[in-house]
Each structure stands twice: as C-alpha cells, then as structure tokens.
C-alpha cells in the first residue's frame, strides 16, 4: 500500500463546476499536510497548507481529518486555469523534513 494515495482521475469538469479531490495517508505520525499544483512539464508549486480546523483560500478549501487519515481539496467555481495535476503531500515531521507525495489527480476544466 502506498503511503499517500490519491484518485488519479482524470477529472473532466465544465467551467463553474465544483470538484473535490480526496487523499488518504497511512502514517498516523504525520505532522503536516499540503496540496501542490503541478502544470504540465513544470515544477510543483504550493497551493495551500492543510490544517485540522480546515482552511480556505478564495475558491479553494482544504480539510484534514486526522482520525480517518484523510485530506481533501474542494475547488468551487472551476476556471479553465485550474486545469493541472493536484498533488497531496504529507510530511512526517522529522528533522529530515521528508515529504511523501501522492501521484496526483489530474483536473481538466472545459469551457
């Protein structure tokens, strides 16, 4: 079983749709959690951190459920520019600061 698992998709949605991505992690000692966005042939870029209380940044909402070891990302009112691969990332919190990346969920927003 992979340490971080994501639904690979692809998710194909029309503009304006709401889409949700899910991610599960297996290491209960994990300390910090993030969502990254990766455009085709580019480096991953931090989208947002994920907190237990949930956090929102504009059209994006991230949730963490430590008991279920589950992370989610909700995108409201999808834009064409949201088309990308979304990576779920879990950090073990050791001095090495190693992060484990999910394989990503691909989103295509269509007009």
Partner 1 sequence: SQTIHQWPATLVQPVGSPLSLECTVEGTSNPNLYWYRQAAGRGLQLLFYSVGIGQISSEVPQNLSASRPQDRQFILSSKKLLLSDSGFYLCAWGHPVREQFFGPGTRLTVL
Binding site for partner 1 (CB under 8 A): 31-32, 34, 41-46, 49, 87, 89, 91, 93-104
Q: Residue 80 Cβ, how far from partner 1 at the closest point, in Å?
A: 22
Q: Residue 100 Cβ, how far from partner 1 at the closest point, in Å?
A: 8
Q: Which is nearer to partner 1, 8 or 54 (CB)?
A: 8
**Which phi and psi (to 5°) does residue 86 adopt?**
-110, 125
Q: Which is nearer to partner 1, 3 or 76 (CB)?
A: 3
Q: Residue 42 Cβ, how far from partner 1 at the closest point, in Å?
A: 8
Strand ranges inside the chain, DSSP E: 4-6, 11-14, 19-25, 32-38, 45-50, 55-57, 60-65, 70-75, 84-91, 99-101, 105-110
Q: Which is nearer to partner 1, 21 or 34 (CB)?
A: 34
Q: Which is nearer to partner 1, 20 or 46 (CB)?
A: 46
Q: Please tell me the distance from the alpha carbon of residue 15 to that of residue 36, in angstroms, as a whole number.
A: 21
**Which phi and psi (to 5°) does residue 43 adopt?**
-75, 155
């Amino acid at each position: 079983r992979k340490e971080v698992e994501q639904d690979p998709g692809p998710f194909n949605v029309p503009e304006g749709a709401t889409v949700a991505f899910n991610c599960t992690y297996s290491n209960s000692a994990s300390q910090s959690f993030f969502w990254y966005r990766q455009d085709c042939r580019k480096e991953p870029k931090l989208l947002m951190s994920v907190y237990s209380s949930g956090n929102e940044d504009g059209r994006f909402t991230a949730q963490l459920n430590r008991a279920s070891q589950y992370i989610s990302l909700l995108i409201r009112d999808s834009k064409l520019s949201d088309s990308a691969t979304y990576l779920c990332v879990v950090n073990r919190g050791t001095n090495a600061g190693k992060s484990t990346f999910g394989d990503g969920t691909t989103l295509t927003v269509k007009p």
